[in-house]
Structure 1
Amino acid sequence: MDNTVEQANQGYMVDWLRVRVEVEHNPDKLNDGMRFDVAKIGDSYSEPMQSYRGMWITEPSYSNKLKVKSTKDGTLLIDGNLGKWLTGHNITGDSDVVELVHSTVMKLAETSEHITPTQQQLDAIKKGYFKIHVIDVNKAILFETKDKSLQYLERLKYHASYARFDKHVESNGIYFGYDSQRKTLKYYHKGTEVANNKKYQHNTDELQALADRMIRCELRLKWRELNDNNLLNGFNWTPETVKQLIDDAHSKLRLPEPMSLPKDLPSKYIRFISCFKNGSLVESYTTSTIDRMKRELIKNYGVDLRNLTF
């Protein structure tokens, strides 16, 4: 097994970062936002190439673009998936925030003549002297097969809940705190995301197979949450901090244990439950029949559709 798979089995990584660093640079060249793209050539990725864009746009987390902008106070704002920009993929990654930022600044300095950090600035970054505005931390929940990982995601869509957060469901994901100004917890199937966005990933058959077995549990922390928890500074972060934050968030997920159907359940109830699973109850039964069947399932067989998992 290669190192990437071994790293994935550890399960923790930093995905997206928006950080502000003290770095010498040419603000006139960066004030419209400089974008660093990693272009795919054949089966490999090229060195980052500079291009300019007059807008500051936040990319979705599957993007391989890094945004760099000079701010009014003379610092450099870096926004993107740093690990993916450095390696070409984010199926596996690094949980060391300080090392990620330091490696990114070093690479930017190699790539652009307009970014020229001093050794003193690089040493300061290496010690964690930079500000974090937004960070995504996550863990990989691995299953034996792709089907089992997708079944788990379906269970989350139907039955998961989270204290104080509403649930927002999409085709390949489920969010808690979707519109929160503080933090958002997200679960999604990594294999589907990678397959749907192939042009953004350096991929191999082995990495795709790993992603297919993976449900990603991802926590986004925004400025207010970081500020209230003393996490705005890079030196407050260690790999253990990443692990603790995502494990704590995941531990608060409410998900009923799987319930198997009674073996003697009549076929009419099996059909009814099948329609419930497919979301077609209203099209198949009248309202009064739905209410009656639900009552009978609870009374006669102890089956509550609200707690039933598939």
Structure 2
Amino acid sequence: MPTPPITELTTRARDIFRLVVEGYLATGVPVGSKTLAGPGGVSLSSASIRSVLADLEGLGLLAAPHTSAGRLPTEAGLRLFVDGIMQVAEPTAEERQAIERRIAAPGPIEAALEATSALLSNLSSGAGVVMVPRREPRLMHLQLVPLAPGRALAVLVGEDGGIENRVLELPMGLPSGALEEASNYISAHLGGRTLAQAARAMRAEIASGKSALDAASSDLVERGLAVWSEDATARPVLIVRGQANLLDEAALTDLERVRSLLDTAREAQSTRIFIGSENRLFALSGSSVIASPYRDREGRVVGVVGVIGPTRLNYARVVPMVDFTAQSLGKLIG
């Protein structure tokens, strides 16, 4: 049967429904009439409370796991609570500082994303997930440093401040000064471009005869750019931390399905909440997903950050936390 809108519930039914859901999310156990009639509950007799609970169960909002047990919210009930009753609790100053500190730590963007995923897992007691932006870093500087005969160290500095190193195989008989010439050319002519853009620009310049590089230095530039271009295509598009917090750890083994789910969140304007079986793409038994897209300074969606956990996640706390993390990542991506 269709879930009734929250406005169709009486004030009494709404109050009891809210207390049941909040109690269940806090403890993970069904909430009974005695608890509801106790301190902090409602001023009604246990019999009156049981009558309201039966009505809410008849509407499909609550369920009783056992005959003598209390009630817990159904997935439809959780959806009604999240959409119509829940009051979010903004991240504390300490949580905001922890998120911003992890994200702003020096190093490659992937390191920041891994740290973000792990932090979300710790703060939410679920699994933190981050979809890596599908783009390459923009080049600021690349230095080729000799290591040994036939080998060099390629040091790339991106515009985002990230520094990465790769070992580069060199052709035999390389002229002296070729490494320095290639490094200077890349930094002076190809800065501000992605690696793919830099490679295309270099090939076009060589093909037009405008390049001042000799054959050996041109080959070095090509090798220096290729070592990162090839690596970028092999980078994981999804980072997951905290799988051990899930009841069904095996549910995260199909990462392609997780990525497909997060792809649906890319189109959202704000944080999305998938509760239990609502999510057909990600058939996790008794699991919910909270996901939010993060954008660059032009407002383009470049990735998704989120939390996977049981349906009794603390939505009021986790939703704004995921939203704040997405905003902070957007500032980093720029």
Task: Tell me the TM-score normalized by structure 2.
Answer: 0.23
Instruction: Give the structure with the larger helix fraction.
Output: 2
> Which structure has the larger Rg?
2
